Each structure stands twice: as structure tokens, then as C-alpha cells.
Amino acid sequence: MSSTQRKKDSIIGICLAVLATMVWAGNFVISKGVSQLIGPITLAFFRWSLATIIITPLAWKSYKKEKQYIKENIRYLFWVSLSGIALFNTCIYVSGHFTTAINMALIGTTSSPIFATIFAIVFLKEKISISRLIGLTICIVGILVLLSKGSFEKLMALHFGIGDLWILAAGFCFAIYSVLVRKKPTTISSLHFLMLIFSMGALMLFPFFLIESWYLPRPQFTAPLIGSILYLGFGTSVVAFLCWNIALQKLGTSRTVLFGNLTPIFSTLEAVLILGEKFTSIHLLIGLLVISGLVIANFSSLRSSASPIKKELSNP
């Protein structure tokens, strides 16, 4: 691959990763906003069922051409669907019943890059540059400062409640998903791949949806709840996942997951606009820190994209 193409792929990957995190930020706000209106598993099941319905017509042509490859990759597809679809967002929606939207965004996006970077080094043998490690560290420092509100005493006394533990589990699941996607079979196109994991994830959730429906009151489908499900099913599922998966292919796991640190920034802005939460100077400081970390982590790769040792930037 030429240096020009590598640089172009990097720019496209960065833009798509930013777009995905911008859309995904609404997931945390909605998760908290509708937590009293619908059960977490029911919300996840409706989301992925709707996403499957939306993407199937788009992916049907690819499915007919590539369906022979499903059986030979069924085990891989199972683990991707379990980690990235069935578990990841369900953990977020359970967390929404116990903690704040900001905590969900902060803890999930702080933990996921750490887990994913470790997995990428151990399982994918990705090379992690010094600048990328520095960028990751700056992002983490920024999130920790926000968690502690700039107080060292509060940072030392920081503890995780049950909701925080659920979102930590979500970050772990998403890190596994991000690493697995790098191994996506080339015989399965991106749209077909999403259709498969969305539908498999919905099927995995179905029995638990029935159980939850037995114990929890039936949700009242008001306009806000219907609108939220539509946003989750189309925006955060079809649009964001497609953008994220392409970014993973173009940038590699350890670079792409760094952009997840933009999620709490976008979540904060959305919380201010939608929920009326207060925006403070600490949020501005953390936003600048996170963006600086992303720039540092990606600058060297863009600058030296012609270098043959940057093989992790090429498509698998």
C-alpha cells in the first residue's frame, strides 16, 4: 500500500471514529433518561431487533452471495455478537438504573481503551508506539481528573458502586469486541457482518427479554421512548457500528479505541443541551486534555505513514 493511501486511510478512519463516538454519546444519555420507562434487557432487545430490520434490506444482496461463509465462521460470529451486541449495551442499560450518565460515559471510555490496548498487544501482536502510549496516558489522566473534579483527595477516595461495576463490565466487553473485529473474515462484507451480529445478538437476548417481561411491568410506548428506541436502533447501531468497524480496519484496534475517550466529552455536551446539566470549566479542561491525547497518539502515524514498519495501518 502506498504512503498516500495509508495517509488517506488514516484520515478517513479518524473521521469515522469521531462520528461514531459522537453518535454513541447519546447512548449514555438515553440509557439514563429512559431507565424508569423500560427494562434494560427489553431496551437492548428492541434496539437490536430494530437495527436488524433496518440493515437487512441493505445487506441482503451480500448475504445471498456470502451465506456459505457463515457456517465456517459461526464460532467467531458468536463471540463477536456476545461481546459487542448482547453484553456490551445491556450492561450499559443495567448501569443506567444505578449510576449517572456521566459516570457511565467516563468509566466505560476510560476502561475500554486500556483493556483493548492490552488485548491488542497480547493477542494481535500490534506494535504500540511511544506517542500512542503517551496519548493514551493523557486521555486517562483527563478522565480521572474529571472523575475526581480535580481533587487528589477525592481521587484517592474514589469507589465504584454497583452501577459503575456494570459499566466497567461493559468497557471490558467492548474491548473484546474491538479486538475481535480486527479479525473479521474478508469473505464477509461489512454490511453483511453487521446484519449477522445484530440478529445473533437479538436472538441471544430474546429468552432473557421474555424473563424480564414476566417480572417487570410492560413499558408504555410514549413518544420519547419510541424516539429513543429509533435513535438507538438506527443511529447508535447501524450508523455508528458501521463507522467504527471501518475505522478499526483502517487504523487498527489500539489507535481506534483512543477515540472512545471523546464519548464523555460529547455526552457532557449532550447532557447540557438535552438534560440541562451544568457545564463547568473542569469539563472544558478535560475536553482539551482528551483531544490533545488523541492528537499526540495519532500525529506520528499520520506523519510517518510511509514507513514500512507501520504495517498495522494496512487492511488485514
Q: 189 near 74, Cβ under 8 Å?
A: no
CA distances from 116 to 109, 119, 123, 212 (A): 11, 5, 10, 31
If one counts every other C-beta atom within 10 angstroms of the C-beta of residue 65, the result is: 12
Give the closest residue to 111 by CA, choosing from 73, 154, 160, 157.
160
CA distances from 123 to 127, 176, 246, 258, 260 (A): 11, 11, 20, 18, 21
Question: Residue type at 291?
Answer: I
CA distances from 271 to 29, 144, 158, 283 (A): 7, 19, 23, 12
pLDDT of residue 316: 28
Burial, 90: exposed, middle or buried (Cβ in 10 Å; 0-12, 13-18, 19+)? buried
Q: What residues does each domain of the chain span?
A: 3-306
Could you list the pLDDT tens digit for every one of the 316 residues in the chain?
Answer: 567 777 787 888 888 988 998 888 888 788 877 878 888 899 999 999 999 999 999 899 888 888 889 988 999 999 999 998 999 889 888 887 787 776 676 666 667 667 777 777 776 666 767 777 777 777 777 767 766 666 666 666 656 567 778 888 888 888 888 788 878 888 998 889 989 999 999 999 999 999 998 888 888 888 888 998 999 999 888 888 888 878 888 887 667 777 776 777 787 777 777 766 666 676 677 667 777 776 676 665 545 443 433 333 222 2
pLDDT of residue 186: 86
pLDDT of residue 308: 35
Set of cell numbers at residue 42 = 427489553
CA distances from 132 to 138, 174, 288 (A): 10, 20, 17
Residue linked to cell 506494535? 127
Q: 265 near 29, Cβ under 8 Å?
A: no
How far apart are the C-alpha atoms of 272 and 260, rounded to whole Å?
A: 20
